[in-house]
Structure 1
Amino acid sequence: MAFSNASTPKDPGHPYAKTKHISFEFFDQRRSNAPFGYEHFVSVPPNYGKELEKSWPLILFLHGAGESQRAVKESYASLWHGVPKLILCYDALKSGQTKQGDKSTDPVPADVCEMVTENFITVTPSLNMEWGYGWNASILSALLGEIVERYRVDLESVHVTGFSMGGYGTWDLAMHSPKRFATLMPICGGGDPARATLVKDVPHWIHHGDKDDIIPLRASQQMFNALAKYGAAEYVKFTRYPDLMHDSWTAAYGNFEVFEWMLRPKRKWKGDERVVPEENKAFVA
């Protein structure tokens, strides 16, 4: 099924997402099971248009509360950290720039930028606080349904990650549709330990700073303990950063190994790609 205008990018209203060496476009979510959808950035690998028979791994990235839109055309905030930072870093490196062009203080290793940009489709929704705080798992699931119909996605290699509010969103989305994801990488987030059994068979890599004074370490620790209780120890990695506070995402997303790890696992189940029934969706104004 083709969604109306689903493949038509729009102007984000700011220059921060402009790229020369990689496709990085901004879209409206066209179908949702709520009165609104998420605007979102999408990157595709440089060889996407050449390797026409290939399907590609996908990373869905969920930003934190501080990167949300609070006014018109503020989607640039969602580009400051995490996966979109890697995409923009790649473009800067290809342009011959040596300094990071965003608000983070630490530069991104070049090999990490290349690994992510050249091997994954990436999707970065931008949450508008006009619709309230926190990621809505059902709307995100509808967005993923739209993405897998728009692009050649390897359905056995769909990954979700996010930090802070996005760390909570990562677990919430996975618990909403646990058979959809190959890996989960929640960073300085938390979840509902009572529901951890729903995701016990999905490989995790949890990250958290020991000195986090925004979301305490115990939020991730409780989820790790619950997963271990349900027998998920062999599927769960937990990296604690003894000297870091809330910003453990710069270290996590700067680690080449986490993206190598994402490329290895495959889902145990088939199906479950479209978990929001079509009759529950409508076009978003």
Structure 2
Amino acid sequence: MQRSFIRLLLLSTFFASLQVSAQERGQLAAMKATAEGGYNFWLYAPPEYVVDGERVPVLVFLHGRSLCGTDMQKVRRYGPLDALQRGLYFPCFIIAPQNPGGPWKPEKIMQCLEWVEQNYDVDSNRFYAIGMSLGGYGVMDFAGTYPDRIAAAMPICGGTTLKDKSGLGRLPLWILHGTADRAINIEESKKVVRALQESGQDKLLRYSWWAGASHGDLARLMYSHQAYDWLFWHNLADNPRETYREIDITLSDLKDVYQQLVPEWTQFDIVRKITTP
């Protein structure tokens, strides 16, 4: 693991306890009809980029069915943007597209990511994806379609619509699901695991089945720095690619995850356009 990653992980935990001044805030903007052929999306840029002009990673968040539509404020109800508002620190760009309805389309997600890559100085070796429920399907479909562009992915309570699942064996993938999930049966995730195991493509695969956990229990993952520490460890520049197995997350680890955040810390300004350093 590169030293820069160690520093990034330490900073992500350290800064979570700090209050930033107004001039050090990140920026959040609603990007509508911006990426041709892509979705409307929220774009967050951290202080490292806005203030210091550092090249930072990009995290793609895909929401579930309940947030589909055209009201972009819905996308901020849960997930990384809500975690950001509650005080979790993200030293990265966040792309949070809104799906108007139906399955997530990998090519439309990639249009958003490539637009950001073309317009901002981001680290193209560190693109990550996380999503839950319908978004869990979206993450697997997206990562399995573009495994050579995504450094690591974490699909939660999902599955995949891909007939060819081989791409999912080419990147670090941590699949998580609860055994008591009534919204999406855990069998949807297990199908992917079995397919990768049977084809011998499970070297980079991790999976966690949380006993007795419901659909809502798994949402806590997106408010835990551990999930993002695991994602951010990975880098496309690493050859050969490997997965980080030292970080483990259990449901008990996340029991008080919401209370551990710092809700009084607002670390971004909503703007019309992200500032380019």
Class of the TM-score when normalised by the shorter of the 2 chains: 0.7 to 0.9
Give the alignment partner of residue 81 of structure 1, picking from 75, 78, 86. Answer: 78
Segment drifting more, 155-164 vs 191-200: 191-200
Report deviation, 1:268. 5.9
TM-score by length of 1: 0.70
Give the alignment partner of residue 22 of structure 1, picking from 26, 30, 34. Answer: 26
Identical-pair percentage? 22
Counterpart of 1:212 in structure 2 is 181
Aligned 8 A contact 1:59 1:122 in 2:
yes
Q: Deviations over 1:195-232 (max 9, x none)?
A: 22122120011111111111100100111121222334
1:186 aligns with 2:187: no
For residue 77 of structure 1, give the secondary structure of its aligned residue in structure 2: helix
Report deviation, 1:192. 4.3
Q: What amino acid is aligned across from residue 44 of structure 1 in structure 2?
A: A
Aligned 8 A contact 1:188 1:248 in 2:
no
Counterpart of 1:122 in structure 2 is 94
* Cα distance change on mapping 1:39 and 1:194 into 2, 3 Å: closer
For residue 153 of structure 1, give the secondary structure of its aligned residue in structure 2: coil
Root-mean-square deviation (Å)? 2.0
- Tell me the distance in 2 between the aligned counterparts of 1:176 and 1:233: 17
TM-score by length of 2: 0.72
Aligned 8 A contact 1:58 1:120 in 2:
yes
Report deviation, 1:181. 0.2
- Tell me the distance in 2 between the aligned counterparts of 1:191 and 1:154: 27
Aligned length: 216
Aligned 8 A contact 2:103 2:138 in 1:
yes
Matching of residues 259-278 of structure 1 within 5 Å: 259-267=228-236
Report deviation, 1:64. 0.3
For residue 168 of structure 1, give the secondary structure of its aligned residue in structure 2: helix
Q: Deviations over 1:99-141 (max 9, x none)?
A: xxxxxxxxxxxxxx12xx2x11101011223xxx121111111
1:46 aligns with 2:47: yes
Counterpart of 2:11 in structure 1 is none
* Cα distance change on mapping 1:193 and 1:62 into 2, 3 Å: closer
- Tell me the distance in 1 between the aligned counterparts of 2:162 and 2:44: 33
Q: What amino acid is aligned across from residue 63 of structure 1 in structure 2?
A: H
Matching of residues 87-236 of structure 1 within 5 Å: 87-90=84-87, 113-114=88-89, 117=90, 119-129=91-101, 133-192=102-161, 194-236=163-205
- Tell me the distance in 2 between the aligned counterparts of 1:134 and 1:182: 23
Counterpart of 1:281 in structure 2 is none
